[in-house]
Amino acid sequence: VESIMKAPVITCPPHITMMEGMIIMLRHRIHHLCMTATGSPDSPALGILSEHDLLVAQGNHPAVLIRDLHRAQGVDTLAQLRQQADTLAQDYLRREVSVLYIARILTEINDALIRESIRIAARELDWKPPMPFAWLGLGSEGRGEQLLRSDLDNAIIFSPPEDPGLTNEVRNQFLTLASRVNAIIHQCGFEDCPAEIMARNPKWCLTSVEWAERFHAWMHTPGEQEVMHANIFLDFRNVYGDTTLTDQLSATIADALAGNKIFLSLMAKDAVRNPPPLSFFRNFIVEKDGEHRDQFDIKLRAMMPLIDAIRTLTLYHGQFDVKHTVDRLNRLADLEPQNRSLYQEAAEAFEILMRFRAENGLRHQDSGRYLQLDQLSKLDRLQLRNCFHPIRDLQEILETRFQLNLFSR
């Protein structure tokens, strides 16, 4: 049996939903789950849940997309499959599937696309890694919250060569790969990062030693730019490559964060820069000019203030292992039971904001960032407005906990 079975056996409880089963299979790249009485490997087995069961039940399955991504031989095929993922997301949104589940599924699809882009680029270039390395997803991709094909922030970490004099030569080899991978990702419909936070940029293609030094500088001599970069890079996640490099970097960052009150206070100050987006007369604050005049920027004015506040509070507790905003909120609810109801309300608000942006982006085939408020129903506007209450309460916690009124003097 051992010669043909997959090990370890992944188990699940009997009350698991189809969507939860799908995500577990995607994450572990398996085709069967062992259903047990309690969901643990130690409880009695009740049956087997197969990928085929889910396919029959749903009629469509992202595992098929991921399988086809792994089999793709060229960029055109990757691009077609990623377009199918958008169609799948639209279908799920219409069926009122939780937007958090949709985001996790698209994260698995995006990860598969990135891994295949790296393999295709390496094959095209006849490229072999000169040193162990990892491809990092940053920002929303790092948090597992990327629903739309907006820009994908990414970076590379690689082991330093024994001879430090060879570092730039090795870096140039990784930059050659990164340039092609970034181009493939762009061909698959993702925007290039306007701030050039991409692995092809030499600033973000660094050895593990250089990354440790970069984070140390951001945290110990922080200014506005350093805090901005930290907010993006602290959400990093290993998408492809050597996990030892990213595990070591995570441990280094966690040590640097411990007791670093000045840096955390600056993060808190940055997180309250954008207060809840309502004017004195409780009207939505919209863009005053430019291409998006009279539109509401849901990313800048609602999602990022919430994401930044939650990141800061999670790091305040030394919790560096969780990245997804809702996972962070669940962790905070356990750590601060006195604020549990607020964190639950914030999680609900975040899901609502994600759904607004996803539906808007898929409807207009763009980033979904700018909402035309006059196209929203009265109920939608009320629901959107209610999302601002937990943002305000979170910012008040930051102001009190980090004494920002004293800090700004």
Q: What is the pLDDT of residues 12-46, one digit of tens each?
A: 998 887 778 878 888 888 888 999 988 888 888 88
59-68, 122-131, 325-334, 384-393, range with the lowest pLDDT? 59-68
CATH class entry, domain 1-59: alpha beta
Q: Is the pLDDT of residue 286 over 90?
A: no
Q: How many residues does the chain have?
A: 409
The residue with greater pLDDT, 408 or 272, is: 272
Q: Is the pLDDT of residue 283 over 90?
A: no
Structure tokens at 174: 């990784």
Q: Is the pLDDT of residue 196 over 70?
A: yes
The side-by-side arrangement of strands in the sheet containing 237-241 is 205-207, 154-158, 133-137, 237-241
Highest-scoring range by mean pLDDT, 83-87, 204-208, 277-281: 204-208
* Dist CA 61 CA 263 (whole Å): 44
How high does pLDDT run on average in the chain?
91
pLDDT in tens, 211-255: 999 999 999 998 899 999 999 999 999 999 999 999 999 999 999
pLDDT in tens, 140-184: 999 999 999 989 999 999 999 999 999 999 999 999 999 999 999
> What string of DSSP letters covers 42-63?
TSPEEEEEEHHHHHHHHS--HH
State the pLDDT at residue 2. 52
* Dist CA 62 CA 54 (whole Å): 10
Structure tokens at 88: 């799948």
* Dist CA 299 CA 130 (whole Å): 39
Upper half-sphere CA count for residue 174 (Cβ side, 13 Å): 29
Structure tokens at 231: 């907010």
State the pLDDT at residue 365. 87
Determine which helix (DSSP H) or strand (DSSP E) holds 270, and give its type and residue range: helix 261-271
Look at the block and give the residue holding tokens 């009265």: 378
State the pLDDT at residue 409. 45
Structure tokens at 45: 């087995």
Summarize the confidence of residues 358-381 as an average pLDDT.
92
Which homologous superfamily is 62-256 in? Beta Polymerase, domain 2 (3.30.460.10)
Q: Is the preceding peptide bond at 14 cis, omega within 30 degrees of 0?
A: no
The residue with greater pLDDT, 406 or 373, is: 373
Where do the domains of the chain lie?
1-59, 62-256, 262-407
